[in-house]
Structure 1
Amino acid sequence: MSLLVVGGSGLLGLEVTRQALAAGRRVTATFHRHAPALGGADWRGLDIRRRDDVVALVGAARPRVIVNAAYRQADWATTADGAAHVALAAAAAGARLVYVSSDAVFSGAAVRYDETRAPDPTTPYGAAKAAAETAVKGIVPSAVIARTSLIVGGGASQHEKHVRALASGAVKGVLFTDDVRCPVHVTDLASALLELAASPHAGIHHVAGADAVSRYELGALIARRDGLDPAALPSGLRAGSGMPGPVDVRLDCAMTQSRLDTRLRGAHEFL
């Protein structure tokens, strides 16, 4: 199966690329600024804000499957418009599309969300992801839209780096004890995305970890794994901090997990 990984230089995209290469697939992967030092893939520079460039690349690569893991939180044109450009190119090429979305599409008012819940974002990033989901569903009805949560793994994620910086005193800040998500290991997420790509399933799927933990609890687990003192991590409350966005969002993944051989581990297990 030939595969195009859009956003292949990011944490998730790189793991999808690694796993696909290990499975013997032909992989084209994109980067925005610098190509990663991962051999075996055909690395191509791409700005998904440029629709014609996306269409040209998909036409040249002729993938059977496209996994779109590209985003920029502060950039509507990348997160929303770019997702539409990839969907249009996938439709024109007749390619299977897996689009990676986020739990940011929810407000947190319901706390627990399964795949049937409608988005109700409260941040620009959440609104961009919700708009991208709508575009993908309308352009490629057979696509998989995979909503996920905090992605952790191998020490390379932003959250892991932030925890180490906080523990060492290199940066100031706190980890919120009331900000709850369902963190997922990057290897589990990448495996699940590739499995969904090869399946007949379509529509919304929730692909997150089995445990609902606060950012502080997650930080303490990371610190213990890395031989750091969790007591060195400053804690605080998000409520009343003035920081926008949902506080407690828990993705219910029961339906999606029933369709997968990949087991979506919880943070207490993988850390």
Structure 2
Amino acid sequence: MSHTYVLTLSCQDRRGIVHAVTGFLLERGGNIEEAAQFNDADSGLFFMRVQFSCDEPSADALRAALTTFAEPFGMTWGLHAKGAPMRTVIFVSREGHCLNDLLFRWKSGLLPLDVRAIVSNHRDFYQLAASYNVPFHHIAMTKGNKAQAEARQLEIIEAEGAELVVLARYMQILSDDMCRQLAGRAINIHHSFLPSFKGAKPYYQAHDRGVKLIGATAHYVTADLDEGPIIEQDVARADHTDTVEDLTARGRDTESQVLARAVKWHSEHRVLLNGHSTVIFR
């Protein structure tokens, strides 16, 4: 019985990497089903994603062999069983459109997730969580209890073994320490086409500037507010007749779609970090 894995890797570019990787897989009975690569001329880095089937049932055995193989190349790599749902915790505040969209896509089999918990600083969506049989945790957030609240949030994330945290319109700024602990595994949706209109109330800022396009940006969370590596973006048309309410309503669909695509690509191990940017093998 064959097993299917996804291998992702990056290292300094040099000749022979593709040959070496494919040879490594061939020696272990691997059959490549999908492969993509990218050479970044600016950073000098090489990126690759390979999906392959293999008779080797032990991911641990493959990881041990990969550790030895990757060392001479100085590779950063990851090996994942294809189709294994990614354990996920979703954060939300009082805007539920992105949460609702993610839960529907997950239950419809469109996202390879295992949604383990929903965390919110408000109680608005406990019934929605219950309808999907997902535990709901209300953790109030104030200026005075931020450290204690984040400690509780991290307890939940670790207890659930979450590989991914999605900020689905969670309208609180994470502390620098929490950002570091969630580096590379927390995705935020910002209701603006970054780098324009960072921070609070971007639709008000956009309306004030009379923009003709509004957008949404899904990005990894970093300590620099709304400046993390961008995964996906999209836009919608606007004109002078639109009110702030019009822009907000139209933007909700864009936000939901952008976040869903970013979560899908991340959970399928199609996104590799490249400094302040990303490489995405769609």
Name the TM-score class by shorter chain: 0.3 to 0.5
Higher relative contact order (CA 8 A, sep 6+): 1
Flag the structure with larger Rg.
2
Q: What's the TM-score once normalised by structure 1's chain length? A: 0.43
Structure (1/2) with the larger strand percentage:
2
Structure (1/2) with the larger helix percentage:
1
